[in-house]
Structure 1
Amino acid sequence: MNIEDFIIPAPEIKTENWQLGHFIKREIIENSIVLLFVSDFRGAKGSGESQDFRRVRKQLYKLSHLQLETTVCDLGDLISGKTIEDTHYVLQEFLSLCHYKNAVPVIIGGSNDLAFSLFSALNFHQKNISYTQINSKIELGNVADTLSEKNFLTKILSSKNLSVENYHHLAYQKHLNPLESVDLIKDVDFDIIRLAEMMNVTEKAEPFFRKADLVTVNCDAIESFAESFSIHPQVNGLNRREICAYMQEIGLGENLRSVGIFNFNFDAENVLNHQLLAQMIWYLILGIDLQNSHPKERFYETFHVLVKDENYTFKRDTFKNLWYFGSDDKIENCLPCSHLDYEAAKKENLTQRLLNFLNK
């Protein structure tokens, strides 16, 4: 199958020589960031008709290149298949090509169920995937139903063929979710973080991006302003500054292999919506580039905390000032945590997440 037969090339957009668009490539290059725009919203009961991505591209292309060392590619727009299953199939083929070249694919647009394809394609190349999702809702629909945004997560978590090591659900809103869904995620020891815990600062949620292989962002988790930002708009959600800060944190993830940004409202007339999406992508690119420039060899300070006569070990990355919990000599066997977790431990309060890690 020739993937080029299913993609409309990105249009040429006039830019100045200091802007990102001046440097963007049009093919998959090894160790690059590859953008692909997708129009298929049938998983959210929308249509598969071609969307107008030019407004977002204009806003993205005119942002500063900042002498990024990581190559950015814009492959174009994926043509929707006759069925949504066809779209998922072609998308997985594209994602697999990126993984073979050690490129990070960034899928922009389409409905949230496309996260299933991102997970499936990555699962072909590696096992024990750590998946972090930003989504105001916890959708756990019937696994027997046709794949949609309502049940894609159930299909991922219940499949014998998909290997989930960790799942983190961020920015859920209590008033939008049945208590049973929240309890189920907690019962299986997956991490779940409320929107209120993510506002103003990124420190508490950052550990859930640090080792993530796959991150997807449902635009429904971002507050709408002026007009609908997403296809299921919410008055409450992460604000403009917060989501850009989190996009950079996503890019800074040490194991990041794939990213999806779904449910954006491309029909929005207000330029600010397209500007925000463009800047979200830009901060993601910046984060990935910064992570690629960081030294591979790290040094750690060790801290011991006594809690009820038990000794617990925390470690701090001296270069990035990031914290870990655990005494293992191999840092990959320690749990990413925050400085807040360390401060709480000094007050003899180990968080439930740290306790769960000790019991594994």
Structure 2
Amino acid sequence: MNIEDFLIPAPKLKTEKWQLGHFIKSEILENSIVLIFVSDFRGANRSGESQDFRKVRAELYRLSHLQFETDICDLGDLISGKTIEDTHFILQEFLSLCHYKNAIPVIIGGSNDLAFSLFSALNFHQKNINYTQINSKVELGNADEPLSEKNYLTKILSSKNLSVKNYHHLGYQKHLNAQESVNLIKEVEFDILRLAEMMNETDKAEPYFRRANLVTLNCDAVESFAEDFSIHPQVNGLNRREICAYMQEIGLGENLKSVGIFNFNFEAESRLNHQLLAHMIWYLISGIDLEKSHPKERFYETFHVMIEEENYTFRRDSFKNLWYFGADEKIENCLPCSAADYQLAKEGKIAKRLLHF
């Protein structure tokens, strides 16, 4: 495949030597972070025409490089296919190229149905995928209809060819969802977290990112402030500081392989919207780079909590101060949890997700 036939190269922007843009590469390197901008919004009944990404790039490239050790590549703008299916196909080819080089692709733009391609491409390289999504809506449309933002999740969860180990849905808002969809997610024992539980601090949601292989963000889950931040703007959502904090938590994930940021409103005139998206990408990069620098050998403290006649075991990573639930000597067999879960257990209460585990 000749990748130049499907990409518009990223423009060269003048930056200073300490800024991120000065260090940006244009090819997929081993163990790098690869940015790909996508214009196809046809999954949301919008256009597949080329979008203008210059404002976002200008804001991103001006941010500090901070001597990141991880190479960062801006592969350019993906040219939309004649059909949305063509776009999904060629995007999966690029994603696969990244996975072969152990690079982490970050897809920016396009409609939320592109999450299906991120999952499908990753599924080709590994099974039992942990998928975490930040989205104000739980969309479970008819899987027999053409792929769109209304049914991509149904297609992922119901496909016999796609291997889902865990699915976590974060940031949903009660007033935007049919209760039947929320109940269905709960019935199959996938985790679902309301927006109210994610506000002001990241501690409660962090465990859902810790082992995620794929994370996608629907920008509809971010509150609009200067003007429409997303193509389906909401007055309620994660604020500017919260979403940047969460982007860093995503990057800090131990098993992160792929990230998608969808439904951003690139037609926004306000510089603040493009600046916020650039900051979100920067915090994601910062988290990925920081995680790569962490020592692989870890030491864990063990804590036992007696509730009636039951003994519950918690373990704490002494380096990261992160908590796990379970008595298994292998930490990968324990469940990521929060310090609040441990404190709750000391009060005689065990969170439902821990009991299910």
Bin the TM-score by the shorter chain: over 0.9
> By how many angstroms is 1:226 displaced?
1.5
SS at match of 2:304: strand
Task: Determine if the alignment matches structure 1 residue 83 to structure 2 residue 83.
Answer: yes
For residues 353 and 340 of structure 2, the distance between their equivalents in structure 1, rounded to whole angstroms, comes to 13
Task: Determine if the alignment matches structure 1 residue 123 to structure 2 residue 123.
Answer: yes
How far does the alpha carbon of each residue in 1:329-358 deviate from its partner, in whole angstroms, 9 at most, with x for none? 10000000000000000111000000110x
For residues 156 and 200 of structure 1, the distance between their equivalents in structure 2, rounded to whole angstroms, comes to 31
Task: Determine if the alignment matches structure 1 residue 292 to structure 2 residue 289.
Answer: no
For residues 153 and 308 of structure 2, the distance between their equivalents in structure 1, rounded to whole angstroms, comes to 39
> By how many angstroms is 1:195 displaced?
0.1
Q: Paired residue for 2:324? A: 324
For residues 111 and 3 of structure 1, the distance between their equivalents in structure 2, rounded to whole angstroms, comes to 22
Task: Determine if the alignment matches structure 1 residue 238 to structure 2 residue 219.
Answer: no
> By how many angstroms is 1:170 displaced?
0.2
SS at match of 1:93: helix
For residues 158 and 31 of structure 2, the distance between their equivalents in structure 1, rounded to whole angstroms, comes to 32
In structure 2, what residue type is equivalent to 1:103?
A
Task: Determine if the alignment matches structure 1 residue 143 to structure 2 residue 126.
Answer: no
For residues 311 and 355 of structure 2, the distance between their equivalents in structure 1, rounded to whole angstroms, comes to 13
How far does the alpha carbon of each residue in 1:286-331 deviate from its partner, in whole angstroms, 9 at most, with x for none? 0000000000000000000001210010000000000000000100
How far does the alpha carbon of each residue in 1:189-241 deviate from its partner, in whole angstroms, 9 at most, with x for none? 00000000000000000000000000000000000012000000000000000
> By how many angstroms is 1:258 displaced?
0.1
Q: Paired residue for 1:35? A: 35
Report if aligned partners of 1:219, 1:264 keep a CA contact under 8 Å in 2: yes
For residues 341 and 73 of structure 1, the distance between their equivalents in structure 2, rounded to whole angstroms, comes to 39
SS at match of 1:340: helix
For residues 168 and 308 of structure 2, the distance between their equivalents in structure 1, rounded to whole angstroms, comes to 29
> By how many angstroms is 1:4 displaced?
2.1
| Alignment gaps of 5+ in structure 2 | none
SS at match of 1:342: helix
> By how many angstroms is 1:3 displaced?
2.1
SS at match of 2:242: helix
For residues 338 and 77 of structure 1, the distance between their equivalents in structure 2, rounded to whole angstroms, comes to 39
> By how many angstroms is 1:23 displaced?
0.3
SS at match of 1:312: strand
SS at match of 2:284: helix
Task: Give the share of equivalent positions with the same residue, in percent.
Answer: 81
The ranges of structure 1 where at least 4 consecutive aligned residues each deviate by more than 4 angstroms after the TM superposition are: none
Report if aligned partners of 1:25, 1:71 keep a CA contact under 8 Å in 2: yes
Q: Paired residue for 2:204? A: 204
SS at match of 1:94: helix
For residues 244 and 4 of structure 1, the distance between their equivalents in structure 2, rounded to whole angstroms, comes to 32
Match runs of 1:90-169 below 5 Å:
90-169=90-169
Match runs of 1:157-196 below 5 Å:
157-196=157-196
In structure 2, what residue type is equivalent to 1:291?
E
For residues 238 and 208 of structure 2, the distance between their equivalents in structure 1, rounded to whole angstroms, comes to 16
Report if aligned partners of 1:109, 1:264 keep a CA contact under 8 Å in 2: yes
For residues 146 and 27 of structure 1, the distance between their equivalents in structure 2, rounded to whole angstroms, comes to 33
For residues 23 and 85 of structure 1, the distance between their equivalents in structure 2, rounded to whole angstroms, comes to 34
For residues 347 and 39 of structure 2, the distance between their equivalents in structure 1, rounded to whole angstroms, comes to 51
Report if aligned partners of 1:3, 1:90 keep a CA contact under 8 Å in 2: no
For residues 74 and 34 of structure 1, the distance between their equivalents in structure 2, rounded to whole angstroms, comes to 6
